[in-house]
Chains A and B, each alone.
Chain A
Amino acid sequence: MNKNNNIEDFFNASMEQFDGVPPASVWDKVEKKLDKKPPFFKTPLFWTGLILAGLIASGIYFYIDSSQERINILMGENEELKSQKGEMEMQLTECNYRSLEAERLLDSYSALQQEKEQKKKTEKKNTPKIKKEEPIEKSAESLSQEYNIYKEIHPTPNLQQLPKVTPQIIETKTDSNLYLDEDGLIIQEETKTEFKVFSIIDTTSNNLEFEVEGVQPDLTPKFVPKTKEWFQKQKDKLKKLKRNRNEEE
């Protein structure tokens, strides 16, 4: 009797002597299990097929999805083209209408032109031919007469009748002296004099044939007859008067 052995060693030593034999059915069952084909879903073929099917299905799905997207794009484009077509048709009808209107206007214009031409023709036939007036040569005498007539109509203006020019003192300067020269320019002098500025009131009335050209040394306005064009106008007026007189005679 060995009292030093503990329970674990005792149990292990005891189990080493185990000589039990399992029933024969165990091996038969193991063999059957080994012979048994694994279920189809556990075979590599099944998984390969499943993966392939998944790939094909996803491919089809994406193909359909992309084709549907393409169809949608085309449908959108089609709609856009339809709307563009409608707009173009509208523009075309408007153009047609305008061209018809233009044709109508052209016809009416040509008809009017024809009418005018016919009228002209008839007027030409009816109106007698007038000879052109020949230019009258003017002698020195006639010109002097004209001048006299002109004088009668437009007497030389009296200066007293003209509007007065009133000098006005605006500012007094002690350090410098300004005055106007013959040409009306302001000249500055060192002498201490008053600076005078004047204004001309209503010198360009329409009833006068003179205009103010400048200021004289005594600060009165300098009058000059109006421009050559004005004289030409007067001459034309005289001509007219003369012609009227002749006709009256």
Chain B
Amino acid sequence: MALNPDIEASVIQGCTKGDRSSQYTLYNGYKTYLYGICMRYARNADEAADMLQEGFYLILRDIGKFTGNSALKTWMSRVMVNSCLMHIRKFRKIQFSTLETDQLERIDCSEDVFSKKDRADAIIHLIRKLPTSYQTVFNMRAMEGYSFREISEQLNQNEATLRSHYLRARQQLQNFLAKEFKGNE
């Protein structure tokens, strides 16, 4: 659920002035979308709730800095991802072990693996199974669409390591999917 563009402008204006109803409208409009992001980066629902709370506070605090060059949703997702990364750095340790870059081929996967109702939860469940470093890199690259250079700047790691982590994560997810698929069969 996204806000109507006309309403969005007035809501941004209200949030800039600190109007509580506008702030709540904004929260209500994007809480599911932002919560989804947090769910992917978090280890459980409680951590996701904490991440959402911290991230949304930052959104409301810095909404005056939103210039309108990008869509509000994109800007908010960036802030939320940054907040999630801050949270992970604060409460978890991201370990990047040196791995050899595996030249894995892209593997197709079937949409019929899960029922439509449970698919998102199943995806989140699979992602959470990955180690923190894999989870973070996969989320940033595959879900948010960050380039490896951007991820490298954010996580302060060289691109080769990140690439290898991404491929490993991808391979592991593939394995998970295969297991789940077999289980469902």
Which residues of chain A have a CB within 8 Å of any CB of chain B?
1-8, 10-23, 25-27, 29-31, 33-34
- The interface-forming segment of B2-10, B32-40, B68-76, B147-155 is B32-40
Contact A22 B31 (CB under 8 A): yes
**A29–B114 CA distance with the chains assembled, in angstroms:** 35
Count of interface residues, chain B, beta-carbon cutoff 8 Å: 40
Closest 7 CB pairs of A and B: A18-B120, A18-B36, A14-B119, A14-B123, A8-B142, A22-B35, A29-B53
**A27–B60 CA distance with the chains assembled, in angstroms:** 12
Question: Which one of A2, A7, A13, A19 contacts B174 once the chains associate, using CB atoms below 8 Å?
Answer: A7
Task: Look across to chain A and name the residue whose beta carbon is closest to the beta carbon of B31.
Answer: A22
Contact A22 B49 (CB under 8 A): yes
Which residues of chain B have a CB within 8 Å of any CB of chain A?
18, 20, 23-24, 27, 31-32, 35-36, 39-40, 48-49, 52-53, 56-57, 60, 106-112, 114, 116, 119-124, 127, 142-143, 170, 173-174, 177
Contact A7 B110 (CB under 8 A): no
Question: Which one of A12, A15, A26, A34 contacts B49 once the chains associate, using CB atoms below 8 Å?
Answer: A26
28 CB contacts below 8 A, A to B, read A1-B111, A3-B110, A4-B108, A5-B108, A5-B109, A5-B111, A6-B107, A7-B106, A7-B177, A10-B109, A11-B143, A12-B142, A15-B36, A17-B116, A17-B119, A17-B120, A18-B32, A18-B35, A18-B124, A19-B32, A19-B120, A20-B35, A26-B56, A27-B27, A30-B56, A31-B20, A33-B53, A34-B18
Contacts of A14 in B (CB 8 A): 114, 119-120, 122-123
Given contacts A17-B119, A18-B121, A34-B20, 14 further A-B contacts (CB under 8 A): A3-B108, A7-B142, A7-B174, A7-B177, A11-B123, A11-B142, A18-B32, A20-B36, A20-B39, A21-B32, A22-B32, A23-B49, A26-B49, A26-B53
